[in-house]
Amino acid sequence: MEKRVILVVLDSVGAGELPDAALYKDEGSNTIGNIKKVIPELRLPNLEKIGLGNIDAPLGFEKEMAPIGAFGKSAEVSPGKDTTTGHWEMAGIQLDMAFPTYPDGFPQEIIAEYEALIGRKVIGNEVASGTEIISRLGDEHVRTGYPIVYTSADSVFQVAAHESVIPLEMLYDFCDKARKMFVGDKALGRIIARPFTGESGSYKRTHNRKDYSLKPTSRTIMEAIRESGQEVAAVGKIEDIFDGIGITKAVHTNGNADGVVKTLEYMGEVEKGLIFTNLVDFDMAFGHRNDVAGYANALVEFDKGLTDILRSMREKDMLIITADHGCDPTTPSTDHSREYIPVLVYGRNIKEGTDLGTLTSFSDIGQTVLEYLNVSGEGIKGTSFGSRIFR
């Protein structure tokens, strides 16, 4: 039987502030731990059984006496706290400089250039929460047909539009034009299409979101795996984050539950290689909205879905559950937070109860994936911790 790795990224499920969190105004952020403080009765049986409470971090869960997996947390080498940076580092790309941000909105010359490219004016151009800005500017957008442009503390140019006003393909084209514009010294991490539907007073974002990331700046673990003749199956926005490079098959999802279903489907199809999943609802639907109860419920629902993933694992499968940054819903900020990420590893070939401590880079995860799949990681950042956990 061939080896497989199922790598699941719980988008924004951070495990406590990094030492440099103050530089990002994220002191006190602890996505998992602070949710547990607000909702002390929160239980995540499967994650706890693997070793969530055994991680050396103030997460609030009791230690498992006999954890069935390996557990730890990882620091981030790259500057920043966005999705692209986190996933890229996990895949072996460590950035020297953070992607540019626009904390006061985009300069007028950039907006004028963009309006000329798409042939219409835009509204917004401010730092804002996505749900709040469509509630506030949605009516004007519907009346004028002008797309809503906004950004955040992250390196993003977001374009929101009602699906009945600007059809999806047109919105995607607008974002593709922005992607081609934001290059060089203004190379943003992501351009994001943010479609929504509904009526005045009840606008709602849809799962037809699409991310336009930069092309990876160096070789990734996915390219190495693909070149070795194995599959790289991407679930959720993974394909977008890496611009499809190194991926053999991909499927987008309609929320976390669908992401688990699609992961299970790939577990029934992929014979060898990597299944790489991103579950975005933690971040998109709850973290950015400071919805503590919703975030906690999403963790519970994932933990339930994890039962099926564990049952579907083959003898030579390795499951890694981690995150890409934080987005603490208990803090006043609605932006990502600079945090450690949890690292939980399980499989029949994985030593039980191994404390990984604190990994120095997300890239260590990627190198461990390569070692397990017997793929050379030469030229790709990171240090495998496989010698500590492989039987």
Over residues 308-335, the pLDDT tens digits come to 999 999 999 999 999 999 999 999 998 8
**Prediction pTM value:** 0.91
Do 3 and 373 form a contact (C-beta atoms < 8 A)? yes
Residue 292 CA, chain-centre distance (Å), reads 18
Residue 217 CB coordination number (10 Å): 10
Handedness of CA 347, 78, 375, 275 (dihedral sign): positive
Tens of pLDDT, residue by residue, the chain (391 residues) = 799 999 999 999 999 999 999 999 999 999 999 999 999 999 999 999 999 999 999 999 999 999 999 999 999 999 999 999 999 999 999 999 888 989 899 999 999 999 999 999 999 999 988 888 999 999 999 999 999 999 987 889 999 999 999 999 999 999 999 999 998 888 898 899 999 999 999 999 998 989 898 899 999 999 999 999 999 999 999 999 999 999 999 999 999 999 999 999 999 999 999 999 999 999 989 999 999 999 999 999 999 999 999 999 999 999 999 999 999 999 999 889 999 999 999 999 999 999 999 999 999 999 999 999 999 999 999 999 999 999 9
Buried/exposed 268-306: b ≥16 CB within 10 Å, e otherwise: eebebbbbbbbbbbbbbbbbbbbebebbbebbeebbebb
Rounded Cα distance, 147 and 133, in Å: 12
Strands 317-322 and 204-205, sheet pairing: unpaired
Question: Where do we find the tokens 């835009």?
Answer: 122
Q: Which of 280, 274, 279, 193 is nearest to 234 (CA)?
A: 274
Helix runs in the chain, H state only:
31-38, 45-50, 83-90, 108-118, 130-144, 168-181, 221-227, 238-241, 256-267, 281, 292-312, 363-372, 386-389
Per-residue pLDDT of 101-124, as tens digits, reads 898 999 999 999 999 999 999 999
* Domains recognised in the chain with CATH numbers: 4-95+217-389 (3.40.720.10), 108-213 (3.30.70.1250)
- Fill in the DSSP letter of residue 209: -
Rounded Cα distance between 312 and 234, Å, is: 18
Residues 6+ apart with CB under 8 A from 19: 75
* Beta-bridge partner residues of 3: none
